[in-house]
Chains A and B, each alone.
Chain A
Amino acid sequence: MRTGKDISSSNVLDYRFWSKYPSLNVKQRGTISVTTTDDSFPSAVTQTVHHNFGYKPQFMAFTKSYTSQNIDKYIFNLADYVNLDFYMEFEDVGANITEEVRGFVTENDFTVSANLFSAVSGDQQGLIYTYDIDYILFMEEAKPI
Protein backbone atom coordinates (compact mmCIF):
# COMPACT_ATOMS: atom_id res chain seq x y z
CA MET A 1 0.00 0.00 0.00
CA ARG A 2 1.03 3.60 -0.37
CA THR A 3 1.76 5.30 2.90
CA GLY A 4 -1.44 6.31 4.64
CA LYS A 5 -3.74 4.17 2.47
CA ASP A 6 -5.99 1.41 3.76
CA ILE A 7 -5.55 -2.20 2.63
CA SER A 8 -9.33 -2.37 2.12
CA SER A 9 -9.22 0.40 -0.47
CA SER A 10 -10.76 -0.39 -3.85
CA ASN A 11 -8.75 2.34 -5.57
CA VAL A 12 -5.91 0.80 -7.58
CA LEU A 13 -3.93 4.03 -7.26
CA ASP A 14 -3.65 3.44 -3.50
CA TYR A 15 -1.60 0.29 -4.10
CA ARG A 16 2.10 -0.15 -4.88
CA PHE A 17 1.43 -3.73 -5.98
CA TRP A 18 -1.86 -5.54 -6.60
CA SER A 19 -1.75 -9.00 -8.13
CA LYS A 20 -5.15 -8.34 -9.71
CA TYR A 21 -3.34 -6.09 -12.18
CA PRO A 22 -0.24 -7.04 -14.15
CA SER A 23 2.91 -5.03 -13.48
CA LEU A 24 5.89 -4.59 -15.78
CA ASN A 25 8.62 -7.07 -14.87
CA VAL A 26 12.02 -6.40 -16.44
CA LYS A 27 13.06 -9.67 -18.06
CA GLN A 28 15.97 -8.47 -20.17
CA ARG A 29 17.78 -5.23 -20.79
CA GLY A 30 20.82 -4.15 -22.74
CA THR A 31 22.26 -1.93 -25.44
CA ILE A 32 22.24 -2.53 -29.18
CA SER A 33 24.11 -0.38 -31.70
CA VAL A 34 23.22 0.36 -35.29
CA THR A 35 25.19 2.52 -37.73
CA THR A 36 23.58 4.23 -40.71
CA THR A 37 25.30 4.43 -44.12
CA ASP A 38 26.36 7.19 -46.50
CA ASP A 39 24.64 5.49 -49.44
CA SER A 40 22.63 7.44 -51.97
CA PHE A 41 18.91 6.85 -51.28
CA PRO A 42 19.89 4.76 -48.24
CA SER A 43 17.83 1.92 -46.85
CA ALA A 44 17.28 1.57 -43.13
CA VAL A 45 19.97 -0.45 -41.35
CA THR A 46 18.79 -3.08 -38.87
CA GLN A 47 20.26 -4.93 -35.91
CA THR A 48 18.64 -7.73 -33.96
CA VAL A 49 18.83 -9.14 -30.45
CA HIS A 50 17.61 -12.71 -30.03
CA HIS A 51 15.57 -12.81 -26.82
CA ASN A 52 14.05 -16.23 -27.51
CA PHE A 53 11.08 -15.61 -25.19
CA GLY A 54 8.74 -17.48 -27.52
CA TYR A 55 6.23 -14.62 -27.43
CA LYS A 56 6.16 -10.91 -28.29
CA PRO A 57 7.09 -8.96 -25.17
CA GLN A 58 6.26 -5.38 -24.33
CA PHE A 59 9.31 -3.17 -24.54
CA MET A 60 10.76 0.31 -24.18
CA ALA A 61 13.84 1.71 -25.93
CA PHE A 62 15.79 4.96 -25.87
CA THR A 63 18.64 6.53 -27.83
CA LYS A 64 20.38 9.83 -28.50
CA SER A 65 19.38 11.29 -31.84
CA TYR A 66 21.67 12.61 -34.56
CA THR A 67 19.49 15.69 -34.58
CA SER A 68 20.18 16.59 -31.01
CA GLN A 69 23.88 15.77 -31.13
CA ASN A 70 25.05 17.28 -34.39
CA ILE A 71 22.91 20.11 -35.63
CA ASP A 72 23.75 23.59 -34.49
CA LYS A 73 20.20 24.76 -33.94
CA TYR A 74 19.27 25.72 -30.45
CA ILE A 75 16.08 23.74 -30.27
CA PHE A 76 17.64 20.43 -31.33
CA ASN A 77 20.63 20.78 -29.07
CA LEU A 78 18.27 20.52 -26.12
CA ALA A 79 17.51 16.86 -26.54
CA ASP A 80 19.32 14.07 -24.72
CA TYR A 81 17.74 10.62 -24.44
CA VAL A 82 14.66 10.22 -26.64
CA ASN A 83 12.37 7.25 -26.88
CA LEU A 84 11.74 4.96 -29.84
CA ASP A 85 9.99 5.13 -32.18
CA PHE A 86 11.76 8.35 -33.08
CA TYR A 87 10.99 10.19 -36.31
CA MET A 88 11.95 13.73 -37.17
CA GLU A 89 12.28 15.94 -40.21
CA PHE A 90 13.95 19.30 -40.20
CA GLU A 91 15.40 21.84 -42.61
CA ASP A 92 19.13 22.54 -42.36
CA VAL A 93 21.02 24.85 -44.73
CA GLY A 94 18.64 24.20 -47.59
CA ALA A 95 18.46 20.45 -47.13
CA ASN A 96 15.72 18.47 -45.44
CA ILE A 97 17.16 16.01 -42.92
CA THR A 98 15.09 12.94 -42.13
CA GLU A 99 15.88 10.79 -39.11
CA GLU A 100 14.06 7.59 -38.28
CA VAL A 101 14.85 5.10 -35.49
CA ARG A 102 12.35 2.36 -34.80
CA GLY A 103 12.09 -0.86 -32.83
CA PHE A 104 9.82 -3.89 -32.94
CA VAL A 105 9.56 -7.34 -31.44
CA THR A 106 8.73 -10.78 -32.76
CA GLU A 107 8.35 -14.03 -30.82
CA ASN A 108 12.15 -14.44 -30.57
CA ASP A 109 13.77 -11.18 -31.67
CA PHE A 110 14.00 -7.52 -30.81
CA THR A 111 14.96 -5.55 -33.91
CA VAL A 112 15.91 -1.92 -34.32
CA SER A 113 16.23 0.00 -37.56
CA ALA A 114 17.72 3.38 -38.32
CA ASN A 115 17.86 5.63 -41.36
CA LEU A 116 19.33 9.09 -41.67
CA PHE A 117 19.62 11.15 -44.82
CA SER A 118 19.75 14.63 -46.28
CA ALA A 119 17.46 15.40 -49.22
CA VAL A 120 18.08 18.15 -51.76
CA SER A 121 16.36 18.59 -55.11
CA GLY A 122 15.15 15.02 -55.40
CA ASP A 123 18.42 13.46 -54.26
CA GLN A 124 19.02 11.68 -50.96
CA GLN A 125 22.43 11.38 -49.32
CA GLY A 126 22.85 9.07 -46.35
CA LEU A 127 24.64 10.27 -43.22
CA ILE A 128 26.77 8.00 -41.06
CA TYR A 129 25.79 7.95 -37.39
CA THR A 130 25.84 5.27 -34.71
CA TYR A 131 22.82 4.88 -32.47
CA ASP A 132 23.37 3.18 -29.14
CA ILE A 133 19.91 2.01 -28.20
CA ASP A 134 19.19 1.08 -24.58
CA TYR A 135 16.22 -1.23 -24.24
CA ILE A 136 14.09 -3.11 -21.76
CA LEU A 137 12.13 -6.21 -22.66
CA PHE A 138 9.37 -6.98 -20.21
CA MET A 139 8.13 -10.37 -19.11
CA GLU A 140 4.62 -9.24 -20.07
CA GLU A 141 3.41 -10.17 -23.51
CA ALA A 142 2.11 -7.48 -25.85
CA LYS A 143 -1.51 -8.58 -25.81
CA PRO A 144 -4.84 -7.45 -24.41
CA ILE A 145 -5.26 -8.19 -20.72
Chain B
Amino acid sequence: MSNYGLKIAEVGYDVKTCTENHLIYSSKYPQLKIQDSGSGSHTFTNNQGYFTLVTYDLGYKPFFAVWIDEGSGYKLVTYGQQVGDFYIGYIATAKTTTLELIAITTYNGGMFGDNTLPENKTVDYAWVIFYDPIKDE
Protein backbone atom coordinates (compact mmCIF):
# COMPACT_ATOMS: atom_id res chain seq x y z
CA MET B 1 0.00 0.00 0.00
CA SER B 2 1.63 3.24 -1.14
CA ASN B 3 -0.96 5.77 -0.03
CA TYR B 4 -1.81 5.53 3.64
CA GLY B 5 -2.06 7.75 6.69
CA LEU B 6 -4.52 9.51 8.95
CA LYS B 7 -6.65 12.53 8.18
CA ILE B 8 -9.31 14.22 10.28
CA ALA B 9 -11.67 16.74 8.67
CA GLU B 10 -13.71 19.57 10.10
CA VAL B 11 -17.32 18.84 10.92
CA GLY B 12 -19.36 18.88 7.71
CA TYR B 13 -16.50 18.02 5.35
CA ASP B 14 -15.75 14.68 3.66
CA VAL B 15 -12.27 13.65 4.77
CA LYS B 16 -11.73 11.79 1.50
CA THR B 17 -12.37 14.76 -0.79
CA CYS B 18 -12.07 18.05 1.08
CA THR B 19 -9.20 20.47 0.52
CA GLU B 20 -6.49 20.59 3.16
CA ASN B 21 -7.65 23.87 4.68
CA HIS B 22 -10.65 21.92 5.99
CA LEU B 23 -8.54 19.27 7.68
CA ILE B 24 -7.88 19.35 11.41
CA TYR B 25 -5.07 16.84 11.18
CA SER B 26 -3.01 15.12 8.49
CA SER B 27 -0.28 12.61 9.25
CA LYS B 28 1.26 13.70 5.94
CA TYR B 29 2.71 16.71 7.75
CA PRO B 30 4.68 17.02 10.99
CA GLN B 31 3.23 19.11 13.78
CA LEU B 32 4.87 21.81 15.81
CA LYS B 33 5.59 20.27 19.19
CA ILE B 34 5.66 22.47 22.25
CA GLN B 35 8.79 21.96 24.34
CA ASP B 36 7.98 24.37 27.16
CA SER B 37 5.93 27.44 28.04
CA GLY B 38 5.70 29.95 30.84
CA SER B 39 4.65 33.38 32.00
CA GLY B 40 5.51 36.03 34.57
CA SER B 41 6.24 39.72 34.99
CA HIS B 42 9.42 41.78 34.82
CA THR B 43 10.37 45.37 35.58
CA PHE B 44 12.71 47.10 33.11
CA THR B 45 14.74 49.99 34.52
CA ASN B 46 14.00 53.02 32.31
CA ASN B 47 12.35 50.48 30.04
CA GLN B 48 15.71 49.19 28.88
CA GLY B 49 17.58 45.95 29.32
CA TYR B 50 17.03 42.26 28.86
CA PHE B 51 16.45 39.08 30.79
CA THR B 52 16.25 35.36 30.15
CA LEU B 53 12.80 33.87 29.85
CA VAL B 54 13.99 30.27 29.81
CA THR B 55 17.12 28.22 29.31
CA TYR B 56 17.17 24.99 27.32
CA ASP B 57 19.59 22.38 26.09
CA LEU B 58 18.27 21.57 22.65
CA GLY B 59 21.50 22.09 20.74
CA TYR B 60 19.79 24.49 18.31
CA LYS B 61 17.67 27.65 18.25
CA PRO B 62 14.00 26.72 18.45
CA PHE B 63 10.85 28.27 17.04
CA PHE B 64 9.23 30.44 19.65
CA ALA B 65 6.52 32.98 20.38
CA VAL B 66 6.53 35.67 23.07
CA TRP B 67 3.74 38.02 24.09
CA ILE B 68 3.81 41.01 26.43
CA ASP B 69 1.07 42.90 28.20
CA GLU B 70 1.69 46.52 29.13
CA GLY B 71 -1.82 46.80 30.53
CA SER B 72 -3.99 46.64 27.42
CA GLY B 73 -3.75 42.94 26.58
CA TYR B 74 -1.15 40.55 25.25
CA LYS B 75 0.62 41.56 22.04
CA LEU B 76 2.96 39.41 19.97
CA VAL B 77 6.58 40.53 20.27
CA THR B 78 8.24 42.16 18.26
CA TYR B 79 6.14 45.07 19.42
CA GLY B 80 6.85 48.76 19.79
CA GLN B 81 5.39 52.24 19.75
CA GLN B 82 6.28 55.91 19.89
CA VAL B 83 6.01 57.34 23.42
CA GLY B 84 6.80 61.05 23.64
CA ASP B 85 10.19 61.58 22.03
CA PHE B 86 11.18 57.93 22.39
CA TYR B 87 10.57 54.79 20.42
CA ILE B 88 9.98 51.97 22.90
CA GLY B 89 10.15 48.45 21.61
CA TYR B 90 10.41 44.84 22.69
CA ILE B 91 12.33 42.09 20.93
CA ALA B 92 12.28 38.39 21.69
CA THR B 93 15.26 36.41 20.54
CA ALA B 94 16.19 32.73 20.53
CA LYS B 95 19.81 31.84 21.14
CA THR B 96 21.34 28.40 21.33
CA THR B 97 20.55 27.94 25.02
CA THR B 98 18.27 30.84 25.99
CA LEU B 99 15.11 32.65 24.99
CA GLU B 100 15.41 36.32 25.97
CA LEU B 101 13.20 39.39 26.10
CA ILE B 102 14.84 42.74 25.30
CA ALA B 103 13.40 46.19 25.98
CA ILE B 104 14.74 49.04 23.89
CA THR B 105 14.22 52.75 24.42
CA THR B 106 15.71 55.04 21.81
CA TYR B 107 15.49 58.80 21.66
CA ASN B 108 14.39 60.30 18.37
CA GLY B 109 13.23 63.76 19.42
CA GLY B 110 16.07 65.68 17.83
CA MET B 111 17.67 68.78 19.35
CA PHE B 112 14.50 70.20 20.86
CA GLY B 113 12.81 67.12 22.29
CA ASP B 114 12.64 65.83 25.86
CA ASN B 115 15.34 63.20 26.32
CA THR B 116 14.44 62.37 29.91
CA LEU B 117 14.47 58.58 30.07
CA PRO B 118 11.14 56.84 30.69
CA GLU B 119 10.27 55.58 34.16
CA ASN B 120 10.73 51.95 35.11
CA LYS B 121 8.24 49.72 33.34
CA THR B 122 6.69 46.43 34.44
CA VAL B 123 5.29 44.13 31.79
CA ASP B 124 3.56 40.78 32.00
CA TYR B 125 4.87 38.21 29.56
CA ALA B 126 4.09 34.75 28.24
CA TRP B 127 6.20 32.55 26.02
CA VAL B 128 6.30 29.21 24.29
CA ILE B 129 9.16 27.34 22.63
CA PHE B 130 8.88 24.41 20.27
CA TYR B 131 11.05 21.38 19.70
CA ASP B 132 11.31 22.36 16.05
CA PRO B 133 14.48 24.27 15.08
CA ILE B 134 14.27 27.58 13.22
CA LYS B 135 16.91 26.48 10.77
CA ASP B 136 15.73 23.40 8.88
CA GLU B 137 18.92 21.34 8.74
Contact = CB atoms under 8 A, between A and B. Distances in A.
A128 interface: no
B55 to A, nearest CB: 14
A87 B93 contact: no
A60 B136 contact: no
Number of chain A interface residues as a range: 35 or more
A53 interface: yes
Interface of B is mostly: strand
A51 to B, nearest CB: 11
A75 B24 contact: no
A136 interface: yes
Given A86-B78, A91-B107, A139 B94 contact: no
A139 B23 contact: yes
B87 A89 contact: yes
Given A19-B25, A75-B49, A139-B29, A27 B61 contact: no
Contacts of A17: 25
Interface of A: 17, 19, 21-27, 29-31, 53-55, 57, 60, 62, 65, 68, 75-76, 78-83, 85-91, 96, 134, 136, 138-141, 143
Interface of B: 8, 19-21, 23-26, 28-32, 48-50, 61, 63-66, 76-78, 80, 87, 89, 91-96, 100, 102, 104, 106-108, 132, 134-136
